């Protein structure tokens, strides 16, 4: 399989007043086409920063980020926006739907930005996707008329509507109950298998990691390893046991 994302020696620094904070400290990572990969790590470890760099909504301080074969550091703001529009789909933790648009319009929005399809084709594509995520009957609903799980399904449909090569999901189940979260992951997984779309999602929930092909561990801004989901879950459970023992001992 060929690489869809390549990250080499990437450093990301933020300035907080006079203090410079290193969110990523020389990260190297390769993600192949069609992978369903999880980036795992505790809060503040750099998961979201890494996803932002891959999603081209932020730029690295140093190092190389290549997405779909393009070095993002050498691209203009307009080119980056086009890359996001045509190559990447986003699923956010807080869904981030446009509150004044209907379900249909939210999903249709990226297609309007692309301006490639006729109204008829757009309708067909959007309704097809909403059927896949089980919301065909909610086309005219506004986001505030939907449950959290339904909103995330709309977000998934929006992320997939342009047939992107990569879908980035930042803790997609964090705001959902476990049952709904599981259903969302099932949906993402099935779309990954049917369409071959690459999914990269961040999480620190071991139940979510089970769905991944591989889990990339990140801590203190560095990639500490890449492991199978079974190993990752085992490590998580060990960590939980250790922490609970420490709590009991204290």
Partner 1 sequence: MTFLSPMLWVIAFRSLLQHRVRTFILGAAIAGVTALLVTLTGAFVGIRSTLLLSATTLMSGHVNVAGFYKASASAGAPVVTNYKKVRAIIDSEVPELDYVVQRGRGWAKLVSESGAQQVGIGGIDITNEPGFRQVVQIKEGKLDDLTKPNGMLIFEAQARKLGVKVGDTMTIVAPTFRGTSNTVDVILVAIAADIGMLSSWNTFMNDQGLRQLYQLNDESTGALQLYLKDIDQVKPVQERLRRVLAASGFELLDPDPRPYFAKFDSVNRENWTGQKLDVTNWEDETSFVQWIVTALTALATIVIFVLMMIIGVGIMNVMWISIRERTREIGTLRAVGMQRQAVLAMFVAEGTLLGVMSTVLGGLLGVLLSVGLTRAHIGLPTSWQFVFFSERLVISPTLFWVLFSVGFITAVITLISIIPSFLAARLKPITAMSHVG
Residues that bind partner 1 (CB under 8 A): 52, 55, 57-58, 77-78, 81-82, 84-86, 90, 92, 96, 98-101, 105, 108-110, 112-115, 158, 162
Q: Which is nearer to partner 1, 21 or 240 (CB)?
A: 21
CB of 150 to partner 1, least distance (A): 18
Distance between CA atoms of 40 and 135, rounded to whole angstroms?
A: 30
Say how far residue 92 (Cα) sits from the centre of its chain. Answer: 7
CB of 11 to partner 1, least distance (A): 16
SS (H, E, C) 35-63: CEEEEECCCCCCHHHHHHHHCCCCCCCEE
Q: Which is nearer to partner 1, 23 or 218 (CB)?
A: 23
Q: Which is nearer to partner 1, 111 or 216 (CB)?
A: 111
Say how far residue 238 (Cα) sits from the centre of its chain. Answer: 26
**Lookup result for tokens 């949906």:** 187
Q: Which is nearer to partner 1, 45 or 52 (CB)?
A: 52
CB of 103 to partner 1, least distance (A): 14
CB of 231 to partner 1, least distance (A): 32
Task: Identify whether the C-beta of residue 197 lies closer than 8 Å to the C-beta of residue 161.
Answer: no
The pair of three-digit structure tokens given for residue 186, joined into one six-digit string: 């099932």
């Amino acid at each position: 399989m060929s690489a869809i994302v390549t990250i080499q020696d990437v450093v990301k620094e933020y300035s907080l007043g006079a203090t410079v904070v290193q969110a990523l400290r020389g990260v190297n990572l390769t993600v192949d086409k069609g992978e369903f990969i999880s980036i795992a790590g505790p809060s503040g470890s750099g998961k979201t920063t890494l996803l932002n760099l891959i999603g081209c909504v932020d730029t690295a301080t140093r190092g190389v980020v290549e997405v779909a074969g393009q070095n993002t550091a050498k691209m203009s703001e307009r080119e980056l926006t086009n890359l996001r529009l045509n190559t990447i789909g986003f699923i956010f933790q807080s869904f981030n739907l446009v509150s004044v648009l209907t379900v249909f319009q939210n999903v249709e929005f990226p297609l309007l930005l692309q301006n490639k399809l006729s109204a008829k084709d757009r309708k067909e594509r959007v309704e097809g996707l909403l059927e896949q995520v089980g919301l065909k009957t909610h086309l005219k609903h506004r986001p505030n008329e939907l449950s959290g799980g339904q909103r995330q399904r709309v977000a998934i449909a929006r992320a997939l509507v342009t047939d992107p090569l990569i879908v980035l999901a930042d803790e997609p189940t964090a705001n959902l109950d476990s049952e709904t979260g599981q259903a969302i992951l099932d949906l993402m997984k099935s779309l990954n298998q049917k369409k071959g779309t690459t999914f990269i999602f961040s999480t620190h929930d071991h139940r979510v990691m089970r769905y991944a092909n591989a889990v990339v561990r990140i801590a203190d801004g560095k990639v500490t390893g890449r492991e199978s989901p079974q190993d990752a879950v085992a490590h998580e459970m060990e960590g939980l046991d250790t922490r609970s023992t420490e709590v009991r001992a204290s």
